[in-house]
Amino acid sequence: MGATQTEFTLKARPKGCHLVTAEVLSHLPELPQCGVLQLFVKHTSAALSINENADPGVRRDLNASLDHTFPENEPYYTHTYEGADDMPAHIKSSVVGCSISIPISNGKLNLGTWQGIYLCEFRDYGGPRHVVATVLF
């Protein structure tokens, strides 16, 4: 078994769930015929997910649902010195997750027809996000 690894930066995005499949692919080396791509976001206030790649309403609804479930300015938050959006961002990152794995088949990501890679940005001004991509083959 072999592996390659690269680190890249996704451009800064506003708070929300963003389809980043094409941007991720632009940073990857040529993919093997068979393997696994593992992506890891190096931040505690953002996440990676796989979900609907066609209807942008899914991204809006997912973000709205996370905001409703984990609202800002809760009186029981003690970690508040980085802003009202920070502690909910940490919670959302833990719930959604910092990594995903995608099978590689015939030199391409073996995603379903309606699947795409999301960067879930949970801060109002999160900035560029650093991602580690490991290809196992």
Could you write out the DSSP letters of every residue in the chain? --EEEEEEEEPP--SEEEE-HHHHHHHS-PPPSEEEEEEEE--SSEEEEEEESS-HHHHHHHHHHHHHHS-S--TT----TT-TTHHHHHHHHHHH-SEEEEEEETTEE---TTEEEEEEE-STT---EEEEEEEE-
How far apart CA 48 and CA 96 sit, in angstroms, is 7
pLDDT at residue 1 greater than cutoff 90: no
pLDDT digits (tens, 9 = 90+) for 76-134: 999 999 999 999 999 999 999 999 999 999 999 999 999 999 999 999 999 999 999 99
Per-residue b or e along 2-16, where b marks 16 or more CB atoms closer than 10 Å to that residue's CB: eeeeeeeebeebebb
pTM listed for this prediction: 0.96
Please give the distance of CA 46 from its chain centroid, rounded to a whole number.
7
pLDDT of 9 reads 98
Tokens for 24, please give them: 């991720």
